[in-house]
Structure 1
Amino acid sequence: MTRRCSGDQDSVVPLLGSRTLVRELAHTMGLHVTVPYSNWFRKGQVGGWVTEYGNFLTFATVRGASHMVPFAQPDRALGLFRSIVSGQRLPNTTNPPID
């Protein structure tokens, strides 16, 4: 699986350009959207947004991150990295505790 990520506040490589590039790449490769643009969560908060194309290509953003994602949002970057290394999807639900 190939993954690409971007900070949603990146002024060096703007999010819209990255998202468009990945979408066009998926189209060229004949991949279809399997998970539409939706949010992913980290510790009960929106960590960013993600789109998956088949089981091959994923594009994820990290909320509140600039060009250097691990520096700007280290915890969210770690969650994204763990997901990539373990080969799992980014969490797309929260499980808030019921008091």
Structure 2
Amino acid sequence: MVPIIKRLINEGLKVWIYSGDFDSVCSITATRFSVNDLNLTVTTKWRPWYTPDSEVGGYVQQYKEGFTFASVRAAGHLVPTIQPKRSLVLLYAFLKNMLPPADISN
């Protein structure tokens, strides 16, 4: 998938990949290694993001080329099924072209 993702990024598409941190099918560690293989420039370092009820929803890192990688806390392989509220925060951020909130006041 790395070459396909790289091609999409090179075409100027905004690409987000997210991973549940309890995913035993596609581990977050393996996904991070794949993201590193893209050789993209980090613009926002790995940091927590929050839900409207002040919980850490996961972590996120953004890259210069329009790529974003996010984790979803306490989610397995089917993130929207297991953590629907956290998934909605990510979807909203993606549609608004912004990162999910960096602190509980956002």
TM-score with structure 2 setting the length: 0.82
CA distance in 2, matches of 1:24, 1:55: 14
For each residue in 1:29-87, what CA deviation from the matched residue of structure 2 results, as whole angstroms up to 9, or x when unmatched?
A: xx311111110011211000011111511000000000000011000001111111121
Q: Secondary structure at the match of 1:65?
A: coil
CA distance in 2, matches of 1:75, 1:9: 16
Q: Secondary structure at the match of 1:79?
A: helix
Which among 58, 75, 81 is matched to residue 65 of structure 1? Answer: 75
* Count of residue pairs brought into register by the alignment: 92
Task: Please name the residue that 1:79 is paired with.
Answer: 89
Q: Secondary structure at the match of 2:30?
A: helix
Alignment of 1:83-98 (within 5 A): 83-95=93-105
Which among 1, 13, 16 is matched to residue 29 of structure 2? Answer: 16
Which among 26, 38, 42 is matched to residue 33 of structure 1? Answer: 42
Where structure 2 has 5 or more consecutive residues not aligned to the other structure, the ranges are 1-13
The share of aligned pairs that are identical, in percent, is: 36
Q: CA RMSD in A?
A: 1.3
